[in-house]
Structure 1
Amino acid sequence: MSESPVWIVLDIEGTTSSTESVHVGLYSYARPRLGPWIDAHRDDPVVAAAVAETGGATTAETVAILHGWMDGDVKATPLKTLQGQIWADGFARGELTAHFFDDVPPALRAWREEGRRLAVFSSGSVASQRPWFAHTAAGDLSVLVERHFDTVNAGPKREPASYQSIAEALGAQPGELLFLSDVPAELDAAGAAGWRTTGVRRPGEPSEHAGFGDHPVVTSFEEIK
């Protein structure tokens, strides 16, 4: 790159971390805990609002709807909210540890030392992003990340308006922002908003053989200068 971007904004699944670690590890942890969590936190307004949004009349109906969304990989806000709470609790209890590709922690630390600023934009809730970065085998990476965005506070990941919103929130010009993702459609949206983009092609990940069009592509964060 001719000039280093001021902000590097990270996707998580398939980019910093394996998709399997989220869909198998975290999803399997949250799945049996949804019902008990709802019943134990009915007085929590956030839980109550999430349950109301599912449309389920009972805990059993609500859980059935949530499980259906999980099975269909539906990025539904109520599901993300409840999963995020359950995961945060699991990390706090020491029952969960986040997975990061080996090249990621040293790259994040090097970028911060160089003066670059880091943010996250993931479909996973902000409530789940923070503990994910805080509880890793490489130590607490959350201290390196200044801002967190999800589909609630920024918007859908495949719409340019979401990236315009993030740029405004960060007080940055689009050209000062670099988005790293393994999903071409997300990179297209960021590019349409004027952002710099780089596709991340991880071996064994769902987008390993995806077509990234005109976006630069790397297989490791070590390649990003």
Structure 2
Amino acid sequence: MFDVDAVVLDIEGTTSATGFVVDVLYPYSRSRFAALLDERGDDPDVRRAVAQVRDLLGEPDAGAGRVEEALHAWLDDDVKATPLKTLQGIVWAEGFARGDLVSHFYDDVVPVLRRWHADGVRLHVYSSGSVAAQRAWFASSPAGDLRPLVDGWYDTENAGPKQEPGSYHRIAATAGTRAGRLLFLSDRPGELDAARAAGWRTAGIRRPGEPYYEQGVGDHAQAGTFDGIGIRTGTAGSST
């Protein structure tokens, strides 16, 4: 049981299956990067992401083919590069909008999120996937549009890397919630460690078949489903 005012959710491996992301979304984005760079190269978000790819490569004159090659290599190595996530988010948002894609949530997640929201718990999302991808994901669930449940969206661009305590300090400040009144749910021990170092409450979600299941979540509280997490809210110290 956690006495908190807000819950911050990881997506991959926590609310949703990593296998779906790897087996469905990654190939979808891979097959559409070339068209995105060709057809929407003047889009401000695409242009900014391409510039970031060039910066990371140290190749300021890299053409579209070289940029696409880098994106594919980062996908192969599961590199959480911000421009990769930005461009994936654009591709996925288009796919969800066209009806090509429907997101995945574990069966226990949506009923609990709805209950927490009804009880006054503020919900936020913090994922290595871009905010655009997060919004599209929650908008296109099998249970309908879940975006109204979420108060804030955070990624590695607007918050920072997920294994650095400073990122969690930034989220707390932006959300207007004291660190000790925030609960972070994730399947990755390094992320949970960083959140706890920033003063947050933490709980690991351990689902059989997920990549981090055997590794465990260290000495963090843990649950196998969202049903195993109890939340009660209070008013003391809820804002910064």
Q: TM-score, normalised by structure 1?
A: 0.97
Q: Which runs of 5+ in 2 are unaligned?
A: 231-240
- Please name the residue that 2:26 is paired with: 27
Q: Distance in 1 between matches of 2:207 and 2:216?
A: 13
Unaligned runs of 5+ in 1: none
For the residue of structure 2 that corresponds to 1:206, the secondary structure is coil
Separation (CA, whole Å) in 1 of partners of 2:117 and 2:47: 39
Distance 1:39 1:77 in 2: 20
Deviates more, 1:202-211 or 1:65-74: 202-211
Match of 1:139 in 2: 144
User: Is 1:128 aligned with 2:133?
Assistant: yes
Supply the AA of the counterpart residue of 2:21.
V
User: What whole-Å deviation, never above 9, does each CA across 1:151-172 have from its counterpart, x for those lacking one?
Assistant: 1000110011110110000111
The correspondence of residues 51-200 of structure 1 with structure 2, limited to 5 A, is 51-55=50-54, 57-200=62-205
1:212 partner letter: V
**How many pairs does the alignment contain?**
224
Letter in 2 for 1:125: S
Contact 2:206 2:216 in 1 (8 A): no
The one-letter amino acid of 1:91's match is F
Amino acid at match of 2:122: R
How many angstroms apart in 2 are the aligned matches of 1:78 and 1:213?
A: 31
Instruction: For 1:179 and 1:46, locate their aligned partners in 2 and report how far apart those are by CA, in whole Å.
Output: 29
Determine the C-alpha separation between the residues in 1 that align with 2:48 and 2:118.
41
**Identity of counterpart residues, as a percentage?**
56
Q: Output the amino acid matched with 1:121.
A: Y
Mapped partners of 1:148, 1:40: distance in 2: 28
Q: What is the CA–CA distance in structure 2 between the aligned matches of 1:142 and 1:128, rounded to whole Å?
A: 12
Residue 14 of structure 1 pairs with residue 17 of structure 2: no
1:138, distance to aligned residue in structure 2 (A): 1.3
Q: Could you say what the CA RMSD is over the residues aligned between the two structures, in angstroms?
A: 1.0
Q: Name the structure 2 match of 1:37.
A: 36
Whole-angstrom distance in 1 between the partners of 2:223 and 2:195: 17
**Helix, strand or coil: the match of 2:151?**
strand
Query: Which of 216, 222, 227 is the matching residue for 1:222?
Result: 227
Aligned mates of 1:100, 1:168 — CA distance in 2:
28
Q: Residue by residue, what CA displacement relative to the aligned partner does 1:76-114 show, whole Å, maximum 9, x if unpaired?
A: 111111110000000000110000000000000000111
Please, which moves more after superposition, 169-178 or 57-66? 57-66
Residue 166 of structure 1 aligns to a residue whose secondary structure is: helix
Cα deviations by residue, 1:159-201 (Å, 9 ceiling, x for unpaired): 1111011000011111110000000010000001110000000
Cα deviation for residue 52 of structure 1 reads: 2.3
